[in-house]
Structure 1
């Protein structure tokens, strides 16, 4: 299983410590986790964190490097991909972010920094369809998300699936990319539901 490694926001809102650690390996349940190079799966993902989590990660291990308002974690996640933490002044306020950068690409860190600033300074906050799907995956507890097997509808091996519940309390698995707009919106926090509609209308 692989996906393009374009720069992408994978969680809306600010991830505090518990959610941050969940986000650091959003694919922990994937089949054959320790086989092959998963660099493309992680590289380019980013999300917002608190100042406290940023400082905690700075102190937990000596950084691989520090460049101005950015630092990289010494331990690589996979291949040449590692965590980079950013403290960026946006609209006059210092905001904090985590991103996975592939350090074999010399421009990856700067590209991510610029992409974060560009998205976070947009005058209209709107979620793209992909951002809505990635937030849904990120915000769903491990017990209610998985990877498809023969029991999943429209079986495609290794694809991400989400558990959906009926009014009667029964559940079924559905491929993440087959979720309807209504099913996605129902899983978004109330404050993000308007953003989901704005993205569709854009």
Structure 2
């Protein structure tokens, strides 16, 4: 039996339609896209969208299934992973979310639903380090993010990178996962920069 994927928020705020489409395939530029098994890369990712985007996706094609306030797309992204859209009541308001669920796991959709409610019901706005890094990755334009290739040490290859201005060196890539707190703060928008740290759920 394989372990359930980590359920993770990958964007702060409500994604508009352009942002939503960009995040549908956040990992399109990975080095071995045609060869790798990407279920673990996508399964468990989620972010908030607006009501208009939720309704638009419902109208695009007939859903694979509808369960109460949730529906799944019939077009699978990779393996048994597909988009599931949620309309959830949180703190007396209906909010809308997109998540990637591995439908080979019967409990994946329910785990995703509960994780979103738990994360968005926290009384104090806060972000984990992982959420900060995922937001930076999601919001960085494609020319300024990428993957470590053959020019990197073997142990780093395939890991995500983001570009920083390096003075006379121009734009230089750095591994996303080893960014310092100062570098993370510099990459975040001002309204997210000073949120308190949150323990991972």
TM-score (norm 1): 0.92
User: Which deviations, in whole Å up to 9, do the C-alpha atoms of 1:115-172 show, x marking residues without a partner?
Assistant: 0000100011111111111111111000000111244589721111111013558211
Give, in whole Å, the separation in 1 of the partners of 2:199 and 2:63.
43
Residues 1:42 and 1:201: Cα distance change in structure 2 (over 3 Å): closer
- Are 2:67 and 1:67 aligned? yes
Equivalent pair of 2:128/2:199 in contact (CA under 8 Å) = no
Match of 2:197 among 193, 196, 199: 199
Structure 2 residue aligned with 1:78: 78
Deviates further, 105-114 or 169-178: 169-178
Structure 2 residue aligned with 1:132: 132
User: Which deviations, in whole Å up to 9, do the C-alpha atoms of 1:24-48 show, x marking residues without a partner?
Assistant: 0000000121223211110000000
Structure 1 residue aligned with 2:149: 149
User: Which deviations, in whole Å up to 9, do the C-alpha atoms of 1:86-128 show, x marking residues without a partner?
Assistant: 0001111110000000001101001100000001000111111
Where 1:113 maps in the other structure, the secondary structure is: helix
Residues 1:40 and 1:201: Cα distance change in structure 2 (over 3 Å): closer
Equivalent pair of 1:153/1:173 in contact (CA under 8 Å) = no
Structure 2 residue aligned with 1:102: 102
Structure 2 gaps of 5+ residues are none
Give, in whole Å, the separation in 1 of the partners of 2:174 and 2:39.
26
Give, in whole Å, the separation in 2 of the partners of 1:180 and 1:74.
40
Structure 1 gaps of 5+ residues are none
Structure 1 residue ranges (4+ consecutive) displaced by more than 3 angstroms after TM superposition: 150-155, 166-169
Equivalent pair of 2:31/2:149 in contact (CA under 8 Å) = no
TM-score (norm 2): 0.92
Aligned length: 197
User: Which deviations, in whole Å up to 9, do the C-alpha atoms of 1:46-90 show, x marking residues without a partner?
Assistant: 000011110010000100000010000000001110000000011
